[in-house]
């Protein structure tokens, strides 16, 4: 397996939920020399640097700016499709304790 494929598999294994994805990406950004800032921090003072922020553990955004840096926007969402635990998840059936799940989102097959 190539290093790229192994890296992707490691990322997927470390990121079973949207919250894990944000944590994993944050760790990778720190390892790459980025600094975490709160949304309330003054970002204008950080105009020429590498910074990121996390909101509620489910959104991560970063900037790597310099005087001649091109402007690029990349977006992805990690919350769909997945399985979510229901609000009242406990259920006992035939002496087994179950956790009830519900699907969230789905594949848009017509876009393929």
Spans of the chain, pLDDT less than 50: none
What tens digit of pLDDT does each residue of 9-22 get? 888 888 888 888 88
- 30 contact partners, CB below 8 Å, separation of at least 6: 36
DSSP state of 8: H
- Asked if 93 and 76 touch (Cβ cutoff 8 Å), the reply is no
Quick one: pLDDT at residue 27?
A: 92
Q: Where are the domains of the chain?
A: 1-66, 77-107
Quick one: pLDDT at residue 112?
A: 60
Quick one: pLDDT at residue 45?
A: 62
Quick one: pLDDT at residue 30?
A: 92
Quick one: pLDDT at residue 107?
A: 67
- Cα separation, 23 vs 32, in Å, equals 14
Quick one: pLDDT at residue 68?
A: 62
- The burial of 54, by beta-carbon neighbours within 10 Å (0-12 exposed, 13-18 middle, 19 or more buried), is given as buried
- Cα separation, 78 vs 18, in Å, equals 5
Quick one: pLDDT at residue 67?
A: 67
Task: Specify the pTM.
Answer: 0.63
What are the start-end ranges of the H helices in 15-108?
Answer: 18-31
Q: Which residues of 9-30 are buried (b: 16+ CB within 10 A; e: fewer)?
A: eeeeeebeebebbbbbbbeebe
């Amino acid at each position: 397996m190539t290093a790229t494929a192994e890296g992707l598999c490691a990322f997927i294994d470390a990121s079973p939920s949207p919250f894990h994805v944000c944590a994993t990406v944050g760790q990778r950004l720190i390892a790459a020399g980025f600094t975490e800032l709160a949304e309330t921090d003054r970002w204008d003072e950080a105009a020429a640097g590498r910074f990121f922020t996390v909101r509620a553990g489910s959104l991560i955004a970063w900037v790597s700016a310099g005087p001649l840096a091109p402007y690029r926007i990349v977006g992805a969402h990690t919350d769909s499709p997945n399985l979510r635990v229901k609000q009242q998840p406990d259920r006992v059936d035939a002496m087994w304790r179950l956790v009830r799940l519900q699907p969230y989102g789905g594949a848009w097959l017509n876009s393929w």
